[in-house]
């Protein structure tokens, strides 16, 4: 077992003014990038056209295509009609124009969606698209998901020219994802989230071309999916009497004494699966085994070890607990096979995630049934017993035409024959699995876990210890250079995870997700040579954050670009010159030299700041970013010194 603290291991509502409300059926327009229609946004950046994630190839040409009342939308095949209708609805939302949608070939003054031309031969090609924008026409070519992703790029290119017309820059874009698995995880077991929010989460994924929603549905602290054959799972296993706020070490408030719980009905699950599929997203369900299962033991104590296991109590804090499914009883496997059968009937995903992480062996070591299983199966120890457990579940899942994914602990005691490894404890597990010719999904906690802090803990909401800043997330490369080119082929994708020990509200979930989601999308989609953090941070991200800000979404506002927080500079004979840039298009930067937090009443940044410091003195510059919606960044503090050099060498 790893000694690294897990995502779960303790260290000793809809925003106001937002257009989406619970109960509303969101359109596939996602959040529609309404900000991209604001005339204040300005011109397209020539190199990237402000597209996130960065396309594989952009060839910008001269001119623009103008959408007006004379424009028509065409689709080539019946399967292309849905995307053409999306385009019509999007344009109508922006301008009020209700453009005709017809089946046919390329016409003048037309937008055409076509599945003809690109013939995919693998999973990556099936998500590729080509876009040719000329003054007389726009042609988007792709199959299914590829055509949808082409549409997503198209709406990022649209600018409002007038009240009744839109413009798109002439260009040719050839694009395809780097990885076939591009995942985003949401833990709803430690804290439950409503259906409307999970749909919003899926919409954000689709906007940034992610294709797998990993739904973490069961935990010690809560069972969140209805299982018809075992109703007690949600009757008693989905509720806890109170919940720990942070931890006794990090937060002396301790328990909040507020009951917490809930679950998704099978009808809600079916609706969610369809909602995601309409956006070309596969829902990957996770049912934890053989550990992190106390919510199931509370409901059905006979699943625990020994002759008279239990009674068990719902877990109200976070950590790793010794009670796990008994590996020696046949009733355990009967239960899990029944549960997984219902799960597989609800989720068409080719994969089922079975957890497999953090399984203490304490109970197994003293359980006569587990010890008999070890003896009967000629196993060496409890680690091999875990391998037996996982392999047996894998065989059952395989018999239903599915495959399993497990956290990298499933490597312990031997890896199940066909399992895919999701590597969270750094990259070590994934690298080992790739060298064994097993498919791997990289999800290292020290880069792309979104429950970790984004900035200085003193200025951030309570999070899991560790810093995964926007820059750190962006820097991650899932294909380690320590692997050979042949071994790198087994890295099928990457996944960012949002665990919710410290995330109890939808607003905080959004804050922890944004803007890191945008950086992660470029890890998962864009070719390595297309990644450029300066271009991402300074040119493209500000435009996207303006869109997010205009919709009232909660997000972490980055500090001013160019502000050197917690740094000291020594005078070298010339005045200091500080140049800043806004991280959000349309946001303002305010600053002062008072060594107190700046606000709107202080200086507004309009150009380079020249700082002259008399000998023997210092100046302290503080900055803050305030967005059009009133959201604020953290404050930066930079010290400028002019002191005589020390005589000491």
CATH number at residue 439: 3.20.20.80
Does 462 share its domain with 340? yes
Quick one: pLDDT band at residue 46, thresholds 50, 70, 90? low
The alpha carbon of 84 is separated from its chain's Cα centroid by a whole number of angstroms, namely 28
Which pLDDT belongs to residue 224? 98
Mean pLDDT (the chain) is 90
Domain span including residue 115: 57-175
Picking from 590, 561, 553, 552, the residue whose alpha carbon sits closest to that of residue 470 is 561
Say if residue 163 is in the same domain as residue 189: no
CA 93 to chain centre: 27
Are 209 and 326 in the same domain?
yes
Do both 164 and 225 map to the same domain?
Answer: no
- What's the token pair of residue 365? 């070591």
Is 369 part of any domain? Answer: yes
Residue 502 falls inside a structural domain: yes
How do residues 604-648 score in pLDDT, each as one tens digit?
999 999 999 999 999 999 999 999 999 999 999 999 999 865 444
Is residue 648 included in any domain, yes or no?
A: no
In this predicted model, what pLDDT tens digit does every residue of 140-183 receive, in sequence order? Answer: 999 999 999 999 999 999 988 887 889 999 999 999 999 999 99
pLDDT digit string, tens, across residues 521-576: 999 999 999 999 999 999 999 999 999 999 999 999 999 999 999 999 998 888 99
Mark which of 119, 143, 175 sits at the end of a domain. Answer: 175
Whether residue 478 is found in the same domain as residue 575: no
Sign of CA dihedral 132, 133, 138, 143: positive
pTM, 2 dp: 0.92
Of 564, 560, 578, give the one whose Cα is nearest residue 633.
560
What CATH number is associated with residue 629? 2.60.40.2820
> Does residue 114 belong to any structural domain of this protein?
yes
Return d(Cα 629, Cα 91) in angstroms, integer: 25
Considering only 60-64, 115-119, 324-328, which range has the smallest mean pLDDT?
115-119
Q: What pLDDT sits at residue 107?
A: 80
Give the tokens for residue 346.
Answer: 């609800």
What pLDDT is recorded for position 44?
55
Residue 559 in domain: no
Which residues contact residue 105 at a Cβ distance below 8 angstroms, ignoring those fewer than 6 apart? 74, 76, 112
| Dist CA 56 CA 173 (whole Å) | 8
Decide: helix, strand or coil at residue 581. strand
**Within this chain, do residues 391 and 364 fall inside the same structural domain, yes or no?**
yes
Domain co-membership, 423 together with 294: yes
Cis link prior to 311 (omega < 30° from 0)? yes
**Same domain, residue pair 572 and 533:** no
Query: Which residues are paired to 457 by β-bridges?
Result: none
According to DSSP, the β-strands at 603-604 and 567-570 are unpaired
Do 147 and 228 fall within a single domain? no
Band the pLDDT of 198: cuts 50, 70, 90: very high
Give pLDDT, residue 181: 98
Which pLDDT band, with edges at 50, 70 and 90, does 255 fall under? low
Residue 115 shares a structural domain with residue 157: yes
Half-sphere exposure of 431 (CA within 13 A, CB side): 12
For residue 73, the domain's CATH number is 3.30.379.10
Q: Are 357 and 407 in contact (CB under 8 A)?
A: yes
Question: In Å, what is the CA distance from 289 to each residue of 221, 335, 339?
Answer: 14, 12, 12
Query: Does 571 share its domain with 623?
Result: yes
State the average pLDDT over residues 97-116: 92
Residue 543: inside a domain, yes or no?
Answer: yes
Q: Please state, in angstroms and rounded to a whole number, the distance separating the CA atoms of residues 30 and 280.
A: 13
Identify whether the C-beta of residue 373 lies closer than 8 Å to the C-beta of residue 379.
yes
pLDDT tens string 447-474: 999 999 999 999 999 999 999 999 999 9
At residue 2, does pLDDT exceed 50? no
Backbone angles phi, psi at 251, to 5 degrees: -145, 105
Q: For the residues 34-49, what does the mean pLDDT come to?
A: 50
Same domain, yes or no, for 395 and 510? yes
Confidence of residue 254 (pLDDT cuts 50, 70, 90): low
Listed in sequence order, the residues at least 6 apart from 270 whose beta carbon sits closer than 8 Å to its beta carbon are 346
Q: Which of 123, 152, 175 is the last residue of a domain?
A: 175
User: Considering the chain, what percentage of its residues have pLDDT values greater than 90?
Assistant: 82
Per-residue pLDDT, 21: 34
**Is the N-terminal amide bond of 53 cis, ω within 30° of 0?**
yes
Q: How many domains does the chain have?
A: 3
Average pLDDT score over residue span 364-392: 97
- pLDDT for residue 122: 76
Q: What value does the mean pLDDT take over residues 474-490?
A: 97
DSSP state at residue 539: I
Q: Which of 523, 550, 577 is the last residue of a domain?
A: 550
Report if residue 604 sits inside a domain: yes
In a domain, 340, yes or no: yes
The Cα 219–Cα 497 span in angstroms is 15
């Amino acid at each position: 077992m790893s000694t690294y603290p897990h995502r779960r291991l303790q260290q000793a509502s809809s925003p106001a003014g937002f257009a989406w409300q619970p109960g509303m059926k969101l359109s596939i327009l996602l959040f529609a990038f309404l900000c991209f229609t604001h005339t204040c946004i300005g011109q397209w950046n020539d190199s990237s056209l402000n597209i996130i994630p960065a396309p594989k190839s952009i060839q910008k040409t001269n001119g623009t295509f103008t959408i007006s009342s004379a424009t028509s939308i065409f689709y080539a095949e019946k399967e292309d009609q849905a995307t053409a209708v999306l385009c019509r609805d999007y344009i109508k939302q922006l301008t009020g124009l209700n453009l005709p949608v017809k089946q046919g070939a390329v016409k003048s003054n037309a937008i055409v969606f076509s599945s003809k031309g690109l013939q995919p031969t693998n999973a990556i090609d099936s998500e590729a698209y080509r876009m040719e924008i000329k003054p007389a026409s726009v042609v988007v070519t792709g199959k299914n998901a590829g055509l949808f992703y082409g549409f997503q790029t198209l709406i990022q290119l649209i600018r409002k020219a007038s009240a009744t017309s839109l413009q798109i820059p002439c260009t040719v874009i050839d694009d395809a994802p780097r990885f076939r698995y591009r995942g985003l995880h949401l833990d709803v077991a430690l804290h439950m989230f409503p259906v409307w929010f999970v749909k919003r989460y899926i919409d954000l994924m689709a906007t940034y071309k992610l294709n797998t929603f990993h739904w973490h549905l069961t935990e010690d602290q809560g069972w969140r999916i209805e299982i018809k054959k075992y109703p007690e799972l949600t009757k008693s296993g989905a509720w806890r009497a109170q919940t720990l706020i942070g931890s006794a070490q990090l937060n002396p408030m301790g328990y909040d004494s507020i009951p917490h719980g809930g679950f998704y009905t099978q009808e809600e699950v079916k609706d969610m699966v369809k909602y995601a599929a309409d956006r070309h997203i596969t829902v990957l369900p996770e049912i934890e085994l053989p550990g992190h299962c106390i919510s199931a033991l509370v409901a059905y104590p006979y699943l625990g070890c020994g002759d008279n296991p239990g009674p068990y109590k719902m877990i109200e804090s976070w950590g790793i607990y010794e009670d796990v499914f008994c590996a020696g009883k046949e009733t355990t496997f009967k239960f899990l096979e029944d549960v997984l059968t219902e799960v597989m009937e609800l989720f068409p995903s080719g994969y089922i995630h079975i957890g497999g992480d953090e399984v203490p062996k304490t109970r197994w070591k003293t359980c006569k049934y587990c010890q008999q299983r070890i003896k009967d199966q000629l196993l060496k120890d409890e680690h091999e017993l875990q391998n037996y457990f996982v392999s047996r579940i894998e065989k059952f899942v395989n018999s239903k035409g599915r495959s399993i994914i497990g956290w990298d602990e499933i490597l312990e005691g031997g890896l199940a024959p066909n399992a895919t490894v999701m590597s969270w404890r750094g990259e070590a597990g994934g690298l080992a699995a790739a060298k064994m010719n097993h498919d791997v999904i990289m999800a290292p906690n020290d880069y792309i876990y979104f429950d970790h802090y984004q900035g200085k803990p003193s200025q951030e909401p309570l999070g899991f210890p560790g810093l995964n800043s926007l820059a750190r997330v962006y820097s991650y490369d899932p294909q380690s250079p320590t692997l050979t080119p042949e071994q790198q082929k087994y890295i099928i994708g990457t996944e960012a995870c949002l665990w919710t020990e410290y995330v109890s509200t939808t607003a905080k979930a959004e804050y922890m997700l944004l803007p890191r989601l945008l950086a992660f999308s470029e890890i998962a989609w864009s070719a390595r040579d297309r990644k450029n953090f300066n271009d991402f941070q300074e040119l493209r991200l500000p435009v996207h954050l303006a869109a997010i800000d205009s919709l009232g979404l909660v997000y972490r506002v980055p500090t001013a670009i160019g502000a050197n927080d917690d740094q000291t500079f020594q005078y070298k004979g010339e005045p200091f010159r500080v140049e800043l840039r806004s991280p959000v298009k349309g946001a303002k930067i305010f600053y002062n030299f008072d060594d107190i937090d700046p606000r709107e009443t202080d200086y507004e940044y309009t150009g380079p700041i020249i700082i002259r410091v008399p000998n023997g003195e210092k100046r302290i510059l503080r900055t803050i970013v305030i967005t059009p919606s009133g959201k604020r960044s953290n404050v930066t503090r930079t010290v400028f010194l002019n002191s005589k050099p020390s005589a000491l060498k």
